[in-house]
Amino acid sequence: MTIHSVVIQKLLTTNAHIGRQVTTHHFKQFTYGFRNRQSIIDSDKTLICLRNALNFLSCLSRDPSSSFLFINTNPLFQPIINEMTSRVTSLSPERASSLWKMRGFLTNSCSPKKFRSRHKKLVFAPTKMPDCVVIFDTERKSSVFLEAERLGIPIVALVDSSMPWEYYKKVTYPIPANDSVQFVYLICNMITKCLMLEKKKDGAKGTGKKATIKVGFFSELWNDRDQVESTSESEGSASDEVLVVPYDNLAPMSCADIAESKQLLDKLVVVKYNGALGKNMGFGGPKSLIEVKNGSTPLDLIVNQIQSLNSKYGCNIPLLLMNPKNTHNDIVKALEKYSTLDVDIHPFEQGEHTQLESFVSEGGEDKWQSSKHGAHFLSLMNSGTLDVLLAQGKEYALVVNPDNVAGVVDPSDANHRHCLKTSLQITLKRWLNLKAIKRLVDTSALNLDNLSTLKLFENSIGISIPQSRFLPLNSTSDLFLLQSDLYSFTEGMFVRNDARVSPSDPSIALGPEFEKISDFKRRFETIPSIVKLDSLEVNGDVWFGADIVLKVSILLPLHQYLVRFGRECQEYVCLTWGKVVIDASPGLTLRIPGGVVLEDEEINDPTDI
């Protein structure tokens, strides 16, 4: 029997799967069905949410100064919670004064308070703001949700099928389950063990010994059947552990409730960095101004996306353009054509802040490029923009990098509460909580020595996205892909051609003769069709005519092809798979005539065409 099955059995014995007779619409994603008019909660999904919440608490407990607020008013749960807190405080004495059990006076926690009951017992509340609130009986503590949301404190809570939407949406880590005494005992036991495990890790680190700990790391958070167990040498670092949520499993934004969608998008601000230059492609300005498709630039695409969302939902998503000195004037000049659009655009120059300017001069351009994400936060702080955004009700920022042309403002990302922290580092795109950044600013945790996003936010969440969501623009080979028939764009977003069978893009390698954008444009009358192409390699003095088709065909069993991507099928069809190579010898000019079809060809001279 697997560990997954054992835990599911434990959940079933606690009656965690038995819901209420009333089931709200937003809770139906956790329900398995109905029996005797009672909702049955899917135990698999309960386990997934429980893993996510425990992982967050574990990451938070790695900081010795972290504090937790446990909220409970049910007398049946109190002995269990007392036992849990006593074990945790005995394990970590330094937290004895920072663990709160019941009294949730959050918004008035600036000063110590005294409370006198009928039995003349005095209870002193600590003055330190908690880093997390854990709520066991959500229906009795509605005021805590409002206070925690106002202060930007994450909430871990047990939620049931009758919980109203206005409180459910404030929960950062919901655990769908029936709040029976048996389940509360189980979850308290799990919290205790997680904190004890983190304490053992810290102890091994403090003694200089490497502790080998068997941990379950879930590479796909919502893939509830797969558990990857690995034995790792832990040195107390959390930067290597990132929970990954598959993009296909994100709940799409509901088109039915326009008011709700507008309310969510009105909390968003888009931040675009324009520091990358196109010098390696012979372009003197920033990459954001390179024409990638039908005369449109990456800057045009992001502006069109925001305009489309503003028009569709009636929201107001501002666009902040963060420009270094060497690109600021070019960007401001390009913004003149957007004056008639319904988009609120604010360009500002990062170099005007002395702290950043000195950092760039000391570290050079390479250091600036590698630390640009931290520079986003510093610029927001030093310019006062962060306070203005928070005053306007903005809560989340999407930081878009210019190297990724397909970085989009996707409402599906915004609708997924776990992704409003940060995305995986490989795409250089971030979803950030502005309140969390403000807290870093107020506690002086944001400085030039710690500019990495994953270092600033220990509990990072990643999204496993399809390749069509990450389209770099680093060379003319990348530009070839973007301008081909493999991609089109609508409402400012690149859309992959449905005729493409392979889930991966073709591999394009253009020689040095195509390195500059001016040479690239002269050598192609039109970009060839590559929907059915796997690989293209071009070297030498080669010129292309119009309406050329590059493809390859080979009889391949479909089930062999699909198994490579984790799917199975027993049919056989003809699929494209192979490459086209065009290699002109030195001193030889090859002209590919218009209208030809090159199918799995290797061309070295005109006679091969």
277-319 per-position pLDDT tens digit: 888 899 888 888 999 888 888 888 889 889 888 888 888 899 9
Share of the chain above pLDDT 70, in %: 59
Average pLDDT over residues 568-597: 73
pTM of the model: 0.53
Instruction: Assign 93 a pLDDT band (cuts: 50, 70, 90).
Output: very low
pLDDT given for residue 127 in this prediction = 53
430 close to 456: Cβ distance less than 8 angstroms: no
Q: Count how many Cα atoms sit within 13 Å of the Cα of residue 334 in the half-sphere of its side chain.
A: 22
Please list the alpha-helical segments (H only) found in 36-77.
43-61
3-241: CATH topology is Rossmann fold (3.40.50)
Per-residue confidence at 491, pLDDT binned at 50, 70, 90?
Answer: confident
In this structure, are residues 57 and 131 in contact, taking their beta carbons and an 8 Å threshold? no
Total residue length of the chain: 609
Which CATH number is associated with domain 251-469?
3.90.550.10
**Residue intervals in the chain for CATH 2.160.10.10:** 499-608
* pLDDT given at position 477: 93
Mean pLDDT of 591-597: 92
Joined together, the tokens standing for residue 341 give 């659009």
Q: For residue 591, what are the β-bridge partners?
A: 543
For 556-573, write each residue's pLDDT tens digit.
444 444 444 444 343 333
Its sign, for the CA torsion 124, 128, 129, 134, is negative
Q: Where are the beta strands (DSSP E) in 342-436?
A: 345-349, 396-400, 430-433
For 158-191, letters b (16+ CB in 10 Å) and e give bbbbebeeebbebbbbbbbbbbeeebbbbbbebb
pLDDT digits (tens, 9 = 90+) for 428-487: 556 667 777 666 666 655 554 444 555 555 555 666 666 667 788 889 999 999 999 998
Q: Which residue has the higher pLDDT, 363 or 50?
A: 50
User: What is the location of CATH 3.90.550.10 in the chain?
Assistant: 251-469
Helix axes of 78-91 and 181-206: crossing angle, nearest 10 degrees:
0
Q: What DSSP designation does 210 have?
A: P
What number of CA atoms fall less than 13 Å from residue 69's CA on the CB side?
A: 24
Write down the pLDDT at residue 223.
Answer: 32
Cα distance between residue 224 and residue 221, in whole Å: 7
Average pLDDT over residues 32-50: 77
| Integer Cα distance of 440 and 459 in angstroms | 14
What tokens appear for 520 in the block? 């690239």
What letter does residue 224 receive in the DSSP assignment? T
Q: What is the mean pLDDT of residues 380-391?
A: 71
Tell me the pLDDT band of 367, cut-offs 50, 70 and 90: very low
More confident call, 547 vs 464: 547
Q: Give residue 574's pLDDT.
A: 40
Q: Side chain identity at 541, as an amino acid letter? A: D
- DSSP assignment of 162-191 equals T--HHHHTT-SEEEES---HHHHHHHHHHH
Where b means 16+ CB within 10 Å and e means fewer, 113-125 reads: eeeeeeeeeeeeb
| Superfamily holding 499-608 | Hexapeptide repeat proteins (2.160.10.10)
What's the pLDDT at 431? 66
Q: Using alpha carbons only, what angle is made at residue 475 by residues 472 and 478, rounded to the nearest 5 degrees?
A: 50
**CA quadruple 38, 43, 44, 50: dihedral sign:** positive
Q: Please state, in angstroms and rounded to a whole number, the distance separating the CA atoms of residues 374 and 354.
A: 15
Query: 468 or 494, which is more confident?
Result: 494
For residues 467 and 536, give the distance between their C-alpha atoms in angstroms, rounded to a whole number.
18
| Token reading at 211 | 């502790």
For residue range 161-203, list pLDDT tens digits in order: 777 777 788 888 888 887 788 888 888 888 888 888 887 776 6
Stretch among 156-160, 202-206, 528-532 having the lowest mean pLDDT: 202-206
In sequence order, what are the beta bridge partners of 189?
Answer: none
Greater confidence, 286 or 247? 286
Q: Compute φ and ψ for 571, nearest 5 degrees.
A: -90, 160
Q: CB atoms < 10 A from the CB of 589, how many?
A: 11
Q: What percent of the chain has pLDDT over 90?
A: 11
Given a contact cutoff of 8 angstroms between Cβ atoms, the answer to whether 241 and 247 are in contact is no
pLDDT of residue 536: 93
Phi and psi at 121, nearest 5°, equal -95, 135
Please check the confidence at residue 90 and state whether its pLDDT lies above 70. Answer: no
**Looking at residue 582, what is its pLDDT?**
92
**Which amino acid, residue 431?**
W
Per-residue pLDDT at 355 exceeds 80: no
**Which pLDDT value is given to residue 388?**
80
Q: Is 494 helix (H, G, I), strand (E, B) or coil?
A: strand
**Helix or strand (DSSP H, E) at 151:** helix 142-151
Higher pLDDT, 587 or 464: 587
pLDDT for position 537: 93
Arithmetic mean of pLDDT, 52-72: 82
Handedness of CA 19, 20, 25, 27 (dihedral sign): negative
Q: Which residues pair with 555 in a beta bridge?
A: 574
Q: For the chain, where do the domains classified as CATH 3.40.50.10490 start and end?
A: 3-241
Question: What is the amino acid identity at position 61?
Answer: S
Q: Residue 34: what are its φ and ψ, rounded to 5°?
A: -130, 145
